């Protein structure tokens, strides 16, 4: 039915808000005036999956931790559930993946952004009695890496903000989002094709690799100036792209490529689309990946 994605700094009070939110939602679902479908409210979190929070210290441990959260989330998504994902969800690309998965399952979505100043998070972290405190350096590091959600991008919308200084949760807004919000159909980016072209996976891999290489080559040729460029993929395929005005690293490009490929690979192999074929031509993949990069690259 719906996916509620929490986002916020470490130790900012997300779980506290989730406890409040779950109780409110259950109360409304049990209210005699509620005449919608029978729904259960489920919560998944790093703690419910036994993920050690200091996994976020180490990128080798963090990746499988995020993978475990994503898999558990997909397993629990369904038309009879309001699923709350209580985790930092601090990477924009990861929130995008969650949003794509929700669209595949035809769920309503909303993002609840739990806002607390860093100093307050540090203070709460230092006096935590649940044995789940972060090491101070992990906390600092995560706060620095945090990619703030934005109501301007579709995967964070609707974005509902709750402040540390307020007791009340914007429950009416959240309730409306999960019970009345528009369900967007899987889009071209998340759709699979009933009979995916056998070479779709190859085109996905090959075209994204070619774009990574072309961006690096463009950057080397221009001395890393950034701005509008034409990426030369072949004699006829030269997609235009705007590069940020800074040096883009290969590992950054590869990370975004992996995120993009993961989502689209799943769409190809699942073949979940009902109507309309998705164009998995080289031109179309190039176009989607360039858009994805432009939307996700830090300026």
Ligand X SMILES: Nc1ncnc2c1ncn2[C@@H]1O[C@H](COP(=O)(O)OP(=O)(O)OP(=O)(O)O)[C@@H](O)[C@H]1O
Interaction site with ligand X (CB under 6 A): 8, 10-16, 53, 88, 124, 128, 132, 164
Comparing CB distances to ligand X, the nearer of 128 and 145 is 128
Residue whose C-beta lies closest to ligand X: 13
Instruction: Compare residues 34 and 164 and give the one whose CB is closer to ligand X.
Output: 164
Burial of 224 per CB tally in 10 Å (0-12, 13-18, 19+):
middle
| DSSP element (H, E) containing 4 | strand 2-8
Which DSSP string corresponds to 47-104? TTTT--GGGGG-HHHHHHHHHHHHHHHHHH--TTEEEEEES----HHHHHHHHHHHHH
* Beta-strand relationship, 40-45 and 227-230: unpaired
Distance CA(23)–CA(37), nearest Å, equals: 18
Name the residue with tokens 């290969």. Answer: 250
At closest approach, how far in Å is the CB of 121 from ligand X?
8
Q: Which of 159, 200 has the CB closer to ligand X?
A: 159
Instruction: CB nearer to ligand X: give 90 or 289.
Output: 90
Query: In angstroms, rounded to a whole number, what is the distance separating the alpha carbons of residues 200 and 206?
Result: 10
**Minimal distance in Å, beta carbon 265 to ligand X?**
30
| CB 100 to ligand X: min, Å | 24
Q: At closest approach, how far in Å is the CB of 73 from ligand X?
A: 16
95 close to 148: Cβ distance less than 8 angstroms: no
For ligand X, the closer CB: 167 or 180: 167
Q: Which residue has the tokens 């601090």?
A: 90
Question: In angstroms, what is the minimal distance from the CB of 67 to ligand X?
Answer: 18
Question: How far is 49 from 215, CA to CA, in rounded Å?
Answer: 38
State which residue, 86 or 104, has the beta carbon closest to ligand X: 86
Q: Which is nearer to ligand X, 132 or 176 (CB)?
A: 132
Contact criterion met (CB below 8 Å) for 90 and 139? no
β-bridge partners, 8:
114
């Amino acid at each position: 039915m719906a996916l509620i994605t929490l986002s916020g700094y470490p130790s900012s009070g997300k779980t506290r808000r989730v406890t409040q939110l779950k109780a409110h939602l259950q109360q409304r679902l049990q209210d005699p005036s509620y005449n919608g479908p029978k729904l259960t409210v489920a919560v998944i979190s790093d703690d419910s999956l036994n993920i050690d929070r200091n996994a976020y210290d180490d990128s080798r441990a963090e990746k499988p931790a995020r993978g475990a959260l994503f898999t558990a989330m997909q397993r629990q998504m369904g038309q009879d559930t309001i699923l709350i994902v209580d985790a930092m969800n601090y990477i924009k690309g990861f929130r995008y993946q969650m949003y794509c998965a929700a669209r595949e399952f035809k769920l309503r979505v909303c993002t609840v952004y739990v806002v607390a100043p860093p100093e307050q998070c540090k203070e709460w972290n230092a006096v935590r009695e649940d044995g789940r405190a972060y090491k101070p350096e992990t906390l600092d590091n995560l706060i620095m890496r945090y990619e703030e959600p934005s109501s301007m991008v579709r995967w964070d919308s609707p974005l509902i903000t709750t402040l540390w200084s307020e007791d009340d949760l914007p429950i009416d807004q959240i309730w409306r989002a999960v019970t009345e919000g528009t369900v967007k159909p899987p889009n071209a980016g998340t759709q699979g094709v009933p009979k995916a072209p056998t070479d779709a996976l190859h085109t996905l891999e090959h075209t994204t690799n070619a774009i990574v290489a072309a961006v690096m080559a463009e950057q080397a040729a221009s001395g890393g100036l950034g701005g509008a460029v034409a990426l030369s993929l072949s004699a006829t395929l030269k997609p235009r792209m705007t590069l940020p005005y800074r040096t883009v690293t290969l590992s950054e490009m590869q990370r975004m490529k992996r995120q993009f490929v993961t989502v689209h690979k799943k769409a190809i192999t699942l073949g979940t689309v009902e109507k309309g074929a998705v164009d998995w031509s080289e031109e179309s993949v190039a176009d989607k990946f360039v858009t994805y990069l432009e939307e996700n690259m830090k300026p």
